[in-house]
Amino acid sequence: MLTSMKSRIFLLAIMSIFFNIVIGTAEAKSATAKQVVVRFQSNVLKVMKQGKKLGFEGRYKRLEKAINDSHDLTKITRVVIGREWGDLSKEQQQNLITVFTKLSIAAYAYNFKEFSGEAFHFDSEEKTTRGGMIIHTHLSIPNVKDVTFDYMLKEKNGRWRIINIIANGVSDLALKRSEYTKILKEEGFDTLLLKLNEKIKTYEK
């Protein structure tokens, strides 16, 4: 009787875990572009509010999942590198994606480390001619001029993903593309990878 009861409890636990996974996956796939952005911004604010307590490493760990869940970092890396992407070996491409991902998370962990009453606000959304979405938002900062954040998203495997962020009219993707392709052309792949890793170390300090 006891063994039978334990078996039923175990089966119910497994079913519960499976149900939660399925529901979680379904919710993630059905999230609209706006919901993806709002959820990401909410996670950023939560980290900011605990920024000092968490420290860089704690902020990095909290933001890692939030960024991976909301950004298409593989696509972003490809676009940043541009035409030179096809000239890289598969190993080089994967190394670059890995380092670029770490750099992106480290940059957020470094730049969003304190909270002083900031708040994100949704402004509007619009469809692009190529089937993407742009979510217009702004960040209000006490005693400082608001910062606009326009998020460009594309749907991938049924899930909306951020592929570019434009802050106050300046494209993050365009800035990185200009900088990284120049290094790649003039100094080579190894130097680019080295400089990206150096940036990560700078943020960690």
Q: What does the domain layout of the chain look like in residue ranges? A: 1-30, 32-204
Query: In the chain, what percentage of residues exceed pLDDT 70?
Result: 86
The average confidence (pLDDT) of the chain is 89
pLDDT by residue (tens digit) across 154-198? 999 999 999 999 999 999 999 999 999 999 999 999 999 999 999
Buried b (16+ CB within 10 A) or exposed e, 3-13: eeeeeeeeeee
| Count, residues in the chain | 205
Q: What are phi and psi of 26, to 5 degrees?
A: -65, -40
pTM above 0.85?
Answer: no
pLDDT of residue 205: 87
For the stretch 136-139, contacts whose Cβ atoms lie closer than 8 Å and that sit 24 or more positions apart, written own/partner, are: 137/37, 137/41
CB atoms within 10 A of CB 41: 21
Distance CA 28, CA 158 (A): 9
pLDDT of residue 24: 45
pLDDT at 27 over 80: no
Q: Is 2 left (phi over 0), alpha (psi -120 to 50) or beta?
A: alpha
Residues 6+ apart with CB under 8 A from 70: 36, 37, 39, 40, 161, 162
Q: How many helices (H) and strands (E) does the chain have?
A: 7, 5
- Residue 71 pairs in a beta bridge with 162
The CATH superfamily assigned to 32-204 is Tgt2/MlaC (3.10.450.710)
